[in-house]
Amino acid sequence: MKLIIAGGGTGGHLYPGIAVAERLKDKVPLLFLVSERGIEREVLSKLGYDFVEQKVSVFAGEKMFGKVKALSKLVKQSHAVSGYIKKGDKVLVLGGFAGAPAAMAGILKRNEVYIHESNSVMGTLNRWLASQAAKVFTAYSKTLHAPARSICVGNPVRSSFFGIEANTERGKNILVIGGSNGARIINQTVVKAAKTLLEDGYSITHQTGKTLEDETRALYKAELKQEYENLRVLPFIDDMAQELKWADMVAARAGSGMLFEAMAAKRPGIYIPFAAAAQNHQFHNAKYMVDSGFGRLITEDRLSAAALIKEIDKMYIELTTYGLNFAHLKIEDAAAKMIKLMGLDN
């Protein structure tokens, strides 16, 4: 018996699977079924996991022709991956279009299929699959559209994020993350805010996304006119736990993976939800952080350099309060919970 971990396209649909895998490595055979379009090849190759890339297309948000094309690819890919799923294997679907073929193949072959919904609004694919799944896991206790039988476990986070202490002192280190692929609107806004922040004593580490690195570096060069020692610009961050340990605060998209990593590392964030996210789930993710006392929120329509600077200054003043909020937070090990509930803890 092996565990098939299916999903990808973004870090938010990959890293929770890695969090589960690292606890099972050398105990259970593992195989990732992932997208050919995301960061999976580079990340999984470095970590030494077996994986198969799939030719699949995004379904949500596409027009009719795009949906038909995506469904056609899904049927073909489900047939293609069925050979990797043997009798007795278990399938863990982590969301994203790359999880669909394994889910369908597993259901048709009557394997145990498990679903994990990382966002605060259950995606269309997971809603379709939920009735056929052995168990449905959610990251949030009040996930919209989740079936009544769902089990809230949290979002799996890699073990390196645990053990970082909450910071109750003020500091001016800002970690900027626009998601694994970057976010142009966040990059542009941070560049415009950078001179004021840097000259006010803040230090910035800015993950731009690989495809947006050159563009963002050019913007910095035009805007700043000089180099600043307290600015680091990176295309991608491999060791996110180490960067969160360095940071006093985060300015980021509101993908669930980023939020739960920040919570595990006990770092507050200013969250800028992707306005076009399916069913506006990033807004609901960010709202959860605000309501829990772990962050602030700026919607894209309110985002500007002045607004970002204002929110960063407010967060700096209130860092002690955020640190105390995190100090009282009990971090659950979602990956360990899921492994037990899937019967893989023997």
**For 169-221, how does the pLDDT look when each residue is reduced to its tens digit (9 = 90+)?**
899 999 999 988 889 999 999 999 999 999 999 999 999 999 999 999 999 99
Per-residue pLDDT, 70:
55
131 and 238 together in one domain: no
What is the distance, to the nearest Å, from the Cα of residue 90 to the centroid of all Cα atoms in its chain? 23
Same domain, residue pair 197 and 258: yes
Q: 175 and 193 share a domain?
A: yes
Q: Tell me, yes or no, whether 300 and 262 share the same domain.
A: yes
Pull the structure tokens for residue 9. 């396209």
Percent of the chain with pLDDT over 90: 75
Beta bridge partners of 270: 251, 296
What's the structural domain count of the chain?
Answer: 2
Mean of the per-residue pLDDT values for the chain? 91
Q: Residue 64: which pLDDT band, with cuts at 50, 70 and 90?
A: low
Q: What is the CATH number of the domain that holds 289?
A: 3.40.50.2000
CA 207 to each of CA 36, 185, 216, 251, 303: distance values in angstroms, whole numbers, following the listed order: 22, 13, 10, 11, 18
Chain-centroid distance of CA 287 in Å reads 16
Q: Decide if 286 is inside a domain.
A: yes
Question: So what's the pLDDT on residue 91?
Answer: 97
Q: What is the pLDDT of residue 209?
A: 93
My answer on whether 206 and 242 are in the same domain is yes
Spell out the residues 6+ positions from residue 222 whose beta carbon is closer than 8 angstroms to its own: none
Alpha carbon distances (Å) from 87 to 21, 110, 140, 245, 273: 20, 8, 32, 43, 41
More confident position, 59 or 95: 95
Range with lowest mean pLDDT among 23-27, 66-70, 274-278: 66-70
**Structure-model confidence comparison of residues 201 and 37, the more confident one:** 201
Query: Residue 141: which domain range?
Result: 3-156+332-341
Residues 54 and 189 occupy one common structural domain: no
Measured from the Cβ of residue 214, the count of other Cβ atoms closer than 10 Å reads 11
Q: Look at residue 13 and tell me if it is in a domain.
A: yes
Q: Above 60 in pLDDT, residue 280?
A: yes
Higher pLDDT pick, 238 / 38: 238
Calculate mean pLDDT across residues 47-52.
95
Look at residue 272 and tell me if it is in a domain: yes
Model confidence at 144: pLDDT above 60 = yes
What pLDDT is recorded for position 180? 81
Q: Does residue 346 lie within any of the structural domains?
A: no
Q: How high is the pLDDT of residue 278?
A: 85
103 and 49 in a common domain? yes
Average pLDDT of span 333-338: 96
Q: Is the residue at 296 inside a domain? A: yes
- Residues 168, 236 within the same domain: yes
Same domain, residue pair 95 and 230: no
Sequence-separated (6 or more) residues with CB below 8 Å from residue 229? none
Q: For residue 10, is pLDDT > 60?
A: yes
Quote the CA–CA distance of 31 and 27 in Å, as a whole number: 13
pLDDT at 266 over 90: yes
